[in-house]
Amino acid sequence: MIYPINLQKLLNDFTRLCIMKKKEYLNAEEFNAIFLKACEDHQNQRYEAARSGYKKLLYHFADAPILHYNFGLLLYESQDFGEARKSFECAAELQPSDNDIIFNLALCCKQTGDIETALKYYKEVLKSEPESIDALYNAAGCYRDLKYLDESEHLYLRVLELSPDHFSANNNIAYVYHLSGDIKKAVFYFKRVLELRPEHKMAEYMLAALTGAEVVASPKVYVKEVFDNYSNFYEKSLVEELQYTVPESIREVVEKGSSWKKSFDCGLDLGCGTGLSGESFADLIRQLSGVDLSPRMIDIAREKGIYHFLTECDVNEFLARDTRMYDFILAADVFIYLGELKETFRLLRQRAAADVLFCFSTESETGEGFSLRLTGRFAHSSHYIERVACATGWQILEKHTSAIRREKDAWIKGDLWFMKIKED
């Protein structure tokens, strides 16, 4: 939450400062005109014009906390979170008792990935406003991101004491209970979320996962929101905390294998995310394309400069309209969010060059089919993959069992698959 601009308060403060400073080249009337124009530009999202006005005012009145605050708001709205943080830090140094400033400074710290400092500022607000729902809710989110689940639970419950219908608190405490393994309470709060918003697909999906309901695919909105929210921490969490090495493991098999070529003309990275998988293969592929549902993940992938084409789209929708032919297709930890794979394999077969190598990973399942696990991810049996591959024109070249990632001090078992077009 960004607090609104109090124009009258700002105007009064600046008029007082103008009189105190008595700078000949900028009187109170001139100052107020510049300030009101900057505020008008700000409110109408003419950010460059507003930025220019605020900077001119700051040149003359660098010790006005409310001006740093206002400039911080503009920078935050422009998503320049690092500079916004600096502005709020200046305002807080000049006026340390203002909770509006401290709250917004906490927001900026969170946006720049400094969760521990954000939490410190939220706690500072709560010292004088112990029933601030916004501060309680945001502090709970920091504790959740830092994996302090007991503290997070406590604050979310406090929010719900003060505001039982607080949608986001109900949704997030359900997630916290899911993370901590308290399935009964997670189910209770996901049901509460659906009472508040019956159309909420994410809660509906997670409730299905926790209760064993039959589902064939993750909702697009669920995948997009999860990975948009996860994007800033994705690689650190996956590689450092979960010890994820699927791309490297696939690369190792590709290099050792004798049933396929070792360099490729046109590659496709399905569910490319931040480019973690693509990085492992970029040197083998002349032209690499990526597709992902999450725009924030796509933005990070684009910064790496390894993709020639990036598309924000659902995998099947992309394949249905794409016209390129690929001799290398990669899907690392993508099918765990798709479930039913027959249509995807069929569409991939249509986009496959004659000498294609199709590599992907799955989480292992016993039996004949696939299932949605408590994690919200799908696991596929070997029988299912073999059956779908045969039905859609793919031939299995190799299959390797692998440890996909760590989860709660245990390894998730999976399979690495390597396929080509089935010979007639």
Is residue 178 a contact partner of residue 168, using CB atoms and an 8 Å limit? Answer: no
Q: Is the pLDDT of residue 2 over 50?
A: no
* Gap between the Cα atoms of 41 and 1, Å rounded: 21
Look at 14-28, 128-142, 145-159, 165-179 and tell me which has the smallest mean pLDDT. 14-28
pLDDT over 70 percentage in the chain: 93
* Gap between the Cα atoms of 345 and 385, Å rounded: 10
Q: Are residues 122 and 149 in the same domain?
A: no
Number of structural domains (the chain) is 3
List, for residues 180-234, the tens digit of each pLDDT value.
999 999 999 999 999 999 999 999 999 999 998 888 888 888 888 888 887 777 7
Element (H, E) at 371: strand 370-372
Q: Are residues 347 and 239 in the same domain?
A: yes
**In-domain check, residue 35:** yes
**In-domain check, residue 187:** yes
Nearest to 416 by CA among 406, 405, 403, 401: 401
Q: Do the strands 352-365 and 370-372 form a parallel or antiparallel pair, or are they unpaired?
A: unpaired
Is residue 413 a contact partner of residue 364, using CB atoms and an 8 Å limit? Answer: yes
Q: Which CATH number is 386's domain given? A: 3.40.50.150
Q: Are residues 355 and 265 in the same domain?
A: yes
Q: Are residues 167 and 258 in the same domain?
A: no
**In-domain check, residue 276:** yes
- Measured between alpha carbons, how far is residue 66 from residues 73, 81, 101, 258 in Å? 11, 18, 9, 68
205-243 CB burial, b ≥16 within 10 A, e <16: bbbbbbeeeebebbbeebbbebbeebbbebbeebeeeee
Mean local confidence (pLDDT), 362-380: 93
Per the structure, the complete domain to which residue 155 belongs is given by: 143-213
**In-domain check, residue 355:** yes
Q: Is the pLDDT of residue 409 over 60?
A: yes
Last residue of a domain, one of 94, 129, 164: 129
Q: Is the pLDDT of residue 29 over 90?
A: no
Mean local confidence (pLDDT), 232-241: 76
Q: Do the strands 378-381 and 370-372 form a parallel or antiparallel pair, or are they unpaired?
A: antiparallel
**Amino acid letter, 407:** E
Q: Are residues 31 and 71 in the same domain?
A: yes
Q: Are residues 234 and 323 in the same domain?
A: yes
Q: Are residues 179 and 319 in the same domain?
A: no
**In-domain check, residue 104:** yes
pLDDT over 90 percentage in the chain: 73
Q: Which CATH number is 209's domain given? A: 1.25.40.10
Look at 16-20, 28-32, 74-78, 296-300 and tell me which has the smallest mean pLDDT. 16-20
pLDDT at 358: 98
Q: Is the pLDDT of residue 136 over 80?
A: yes
Please name the residue that has the structure tokens 């929210």: 229
pLDDT at 39: 86
Last residue of a domain, one of 213, 240, 257: 213
Q: Are residues 272 and 367 in the same domain?
A: yes
**In-domain check, residue 219:** no
**In-domain check, residue 221:** no
pLDDT at 4: 43
Last residue of a domain, one of 157, 184, 213: 213
Q: Are residues 168 and 108 in the same domain?
A: no
**In-domain check, residue 137:** no
Q: Are residues 107 and 200 in the same domain?
A: no
Q: Is the pLDDT of residue 1 over 60?
A: no
Q: Are residues 196 and 232 in the same domain?
A: no
pLDDT, the chain, mean: 90
Q: Are residues 184 and 68 in the same domain?
A: no
